[in-house]
Structure 1
Amino acid sequence: MSKTCIVCGQAAGSGEHVFPAALGGRRVNSGIYCPKHDNSYSGLVNEIAGQLDFLNAYLGVIPDHSKKSKTASAEHTLTGETVSISAKEIRFTKPWIISRTPVGEGEALQLSFPDIQSAKQFIKKMEASEHKWTYLSKPVARRYITGSVKHKRAFGGACGLGSIAYLTQTLFAQEFPEVARSGVLSNFLGYTQAIAKVAMLGGCEKQSEEREELIEARLTLTSALEPFGGAAPIWWDFSLSEEEHVNKFEFGHRVTVGIDGSDGQIYGRVALFSALTFSMHLGTAPHGSATREVTVDIDPLAKHPPNDINKREVFSAPGRIQVPEHATEGLANAVANGTQQRAFAHLMERLDEHQLSMLARDMNKALAPCSNLSLLEARALIEKALDEQLQQIWRMVRGVLEGLKERMAEGNMAVINPMLDSLIAYDVQSTSGLSQQAEVMLALAKAALAAQMEEDCAAGVLNEERIAELMGKGPGLHVVGQMVLAPLLQVFGESPHPDEQ
């Protein structure tokens, strides 16, 4: 079949990604949309990329045609400053004032910079200005323990669902080109075009005062939804049973499209990160259409083809969907009974495990020469590697002390919890972000881990698996707990036990 746009029938050739490049899609098909209609969906692509930016950043997804992994913006809870989140780090995006103190006719400022380059730019700017200033001390490079951050994102919504519908229709057009151009998708295409227009005009969230163009786009969307009873033909689907085929990729996306020839049902299913699941009804295929289903798993972490996807085809319709009477009922029930929260919590647990695996891989590479070094050289190498992971070590310290707080509360000894809180307190006016007592806890934890790694290195067992255990699992929590809790537990007549860390 000639390459014609599935929306307007004109010549295609835009070269759009079959699965959005911003989500890690690598495959391009130039025969689905014309340039005009490919561009018309850009608002939906931006919407889904924005909704998933935190997950993509945390996972380290690199968009197609880019060399850098995704980042997401968030608010540092204690300072209100903007931070950038990536798979590697959390960092402030611009200089900010830690403290300011009046001095004579001026004031002394303590400043924090994201990196050396931004510090140099600030100095250059000050030198070129008319302000009188001088160093009170030389700049010092220190890692800042960021603590908690706020990142608000809503998954789904009208535009989010529209984005999922768009990427599904695109894959359907690739796998069922004749049916996609037969006219049976006209209502579905009308819907995705209408919601795409709303997204492009910035109308994904209702505004108090909307310009006429956006009001008109909303009216068009309302008309486009009439063939579907006024509701979008896509919905969150938490009823999916355990599938026979698990996604080939750890955080793979899955898109399933198919036709059930018994009644012509054209259906689609989408699972993002193997966790966020949707179903949709695209239309009814022409009489006599063969039953067939295609499932494509996409690896958002793959850097290039051919190992970026896994495709399966069956001549049956195991993924056939059941259109709900009320499109939002499934989501409402999932929120009420906790299904949605558990699905997202499980995804975050998997992401944390992935982060720990990547950390262990990097540390193992850095510490590879350790066994061939002298004791002093090995110790220096280990301490340098741990200095790169202070944020993770701090998470372990907090985990241990928060666990002790729970035990104290259960044992009617919560009276000491304020003291425990002081040991892990933040201080936004310190160069590390921690109070002096918290810095001591962090230093103790680092020393304990360094000593254990030195011992493991000497014994020849400091491999990637062992590093993962020490940097975030039970053995590491036990090592940290032995060091930071021992003095406290001695006061109260207890001793730490591995099973209790």
Structure 2
Amino acid sequence: MAKRSCIICGGATGSREHLFPAALGGRRVNAGIYCSEHNQALGPGAAVLAKQLRVINSILMVESDRDRKVAHYPVTVEDGRTLNVVGGHATLAARFDVTSDTPEVTTGTLNFQTDAQFQAWVKAQHDAGNRVEFGERQINPPKFYPGPRLELTFGGSNGLRAIAYLALTYFAHHFADAARTPALHDFKAYVLGQEAATRAGWAPVDAFANLPVNPFEFGHMIAVGVDTNGKAKALVSIFGSLNFAVDIAQLAEAEEARAMATFINPLARGAPADIHEVAIEPGGLGTVETDRSQQTLETAIADGIMQSALRILFEKISIYVNRRDATPLLMRLENIAARPVSDRSDAIATLLNEQLPTTMILQLCERVVSGLKLAFGATPETVPFIAMLDELLAFDPVRPSGLSENTETLMPAMRDIIGQQLLAATAGGVISIDILVEILAGERGARSISEMYVSVLNQLSNQLSADSSLDRAGS
């Protein structure tokens, strides 16, 4: 392809910008759209998208194309420590408490949750040319925290301007000549932050009804085109759930009516599985409505635009994470299932102690407790039972484990219950990922844990009744 001029200033191109932001899983570049200066000027648009969508990127473990790393999502917890959320799981961030600091020597206490964190820190210090000496080393048991509250904040003028930047880039990619006409002057000014006119806005899911089905589970999509009236427009979908319409321009010069849809797979590591491009009917882009351009995600949810889409997205993410986390266990369970029945029980117990994260058990317990509270309802008669449930699943930041004494006491029993379920599931000599997920994170496991909770509640209730009878007898 012949080298083209920058669509903003007409200068020389060659900056090799990512068509879709690298931090969100974009793998393809184009050296014929922007000059270096304007590629840098538009860079904050990509940064806005990456920052506002960081929580989903972290849970899905989307690798940046620049450094092949997954960005963590930091959350500050009750005791002031920072949790780094990656893949839907939280680990404590490394911490260095300085006790003395001179130009020659810095002394302090290092805190790491895992040995891998410690080794990575030591390597980073050596690579930086720092000499490190260690005194006493103490290994503490892992500490657990309540599941951090993750927030997805998106939209506003900056977020939606970033969506318009995506539309401009893909329009220039597919409509190179039209993107360099004066008709796009005002739209480019909007993308650069030089004009405040409404150009992008939230779109209801039915605006995408006439477009092809996204072939990727969490795929992004950018569809750009020109209709029969010379109107240039775009539809953009992030993770297949956050949907936007973009009003690009009314073209003054004749342009063939056509449209292209590009689907991006953020979970792919490279070509050819990273994108799918297809020509679509220009009418599939529908009528662009941008009167909601200043809305944040919270406002769009309140207005009902995003409620269903987000619910579906987070349900999909939950299923995906559960299956992903269960896969390493499945490989060992398949080997255990092929063993003689007499060997399976001990092998499953060993597997669960080595590989089943306590956080997964806690998440299953949280689901059970929430369900039981809902079933009990809020009545004077059920208040004591709800209080008991809160005591059976509680976190205590003062204790070394981070769990209350009651919760920590019940953990081995819960692990045994899961083990019994797995033993029953392997009775036929095979086990599937669907059954495993149902036991570890679904209805099957929740039902067994629920039975244990009800049994404990009955015991506590009987004890309370007995204590009350003794009190009355004593009085």
Structure 2 partner of 1:247: 214
Structure 1 partner of 2:100: none
| TM-score normalised per structure 2 | 0.84
What does residue range 250-399 of structure 1 map to in structure 2 within 5 Å? 250-262=217-229, 264-324=230-290, 327-328=293-294, 334-373=300-339, 374-375=343-344, 378-387=347-356, 389-399=357-367
Structure 2 partner of 1:49: 50
Query: Displacement of 1:345 after TM fit?
Result: 3.0
CA separation of 1:190 and 1:113: change in aligned 2, threshold 3 A: same
Question: Cα deviations across residues 335-354 of structure 1 (Å, max 9, x unaligned)?
Answer: 44433344323322211111
Aligned partners of 2:201 and 2:292 also within 8 Å: no
Structure 1 partner of 2:101: none
Query: Displacement of 1:118 after TM fit?
Result: 5.2
Structure 1 partner of 2:438: 469
Query: Displacement of 1:61 after TM fit?
Result: 0.5
Structure 1 partner of 2:105: none
Structure 2 partner of 1:156: 155
Aligned partners of 1:95 and 1:118 also within 8 Å: no
Query: Displacement of 1:242 after TM fit?
Result: 5.6
Task: Confirm or deny that 1:146 pairs with 2:112.
Answer: no
Gaps of 5+ in 2: 98-107, 463-475
Question: Cα deviations across residues 149-169 of structure 1 (Å, max 9, x unaligned)?
Answer: 244452011111111111111
- Alpha-carbon distance in 2 for matches of 1:376, 1:237: 53
Aligned partners of 2:160 and 2:293 also within 8 Å: no
Task: Confirm or deny that 1:21 pairs with 2:22.
Answer: yes
- Alpha-carbon distance in 2 for matches of 1:312, 1:453: 45
Aligned partners of 1:15 and 1:31 also within 8 Å: yes
1:456 to 407, 425, 429: 425
How many pairs were matched up? 439
Aligned-partner SS, 1:10 = coil
Structure 2 partner of 1:215: none
Structure 1 segments of 4+ aligned residues over 3 angstroms from their partners: 109-112, 117-122, 150-153, 239-242, 322-339, 384-387, 489-493
Structure 2 partner of 1:83: 83
Question: Cα deviations across residues 362-418 of structure 1 (Å, max 9, x unaligned)?
Answer: 22123332134433652344223553x211111111221222222222564223211
Structure 2 partner of 1:185: 184
Question: Cα deviations across residues 169-213 of structure 1 (Å, max 9, x unaligned)?
Answer: 1111011111111222111111212x2xxxxxxxxxxxxxxxxxx
Gaps of 5+ in 1: 98-108, 196-220, 226-230, 494-501
Structure 1 partner of 2:75: 74
Task: Confirm or deny that 1:39 pairs with 2:40.
Answer: yes
2:202 to 212, 236, 246: 236
Query: Displacement of 1:288 after TM fit?
Result: 2.6
CA separation of 1:441 and 1:322: change in aligned 2, threshold 3 A: same
Structure 1 partner of 2:165: 166
Q: Which amino acid aligns with 1:290?
A: E
Aligned partners of 1:237 and 1:331 also within 8 Å: no
Query: Displacement of 1:143 after TM fit?
Result: 3.5
Aligned-partner SS, 1:85 = strand
CA separation of 1:348 and 1:80: change in aligned 2, threshold 3 A: farther
Identity of aligned residues (%): 27
Q: Which amino acid aligns with 1:311?
A: E
| TM-score normalised per structure 1 | 0.80
- Alpha-carbon distance in 2 for matches of 1:356, 1:116: 25
- Alpha-carbon distance in 1 for matches of 2:225, 2:433: 43
Query: Displacement of 1:94 after TM fit?
Result: 2.1
Aligned partners of 2:202 and 2:292 also within 8 Å: no
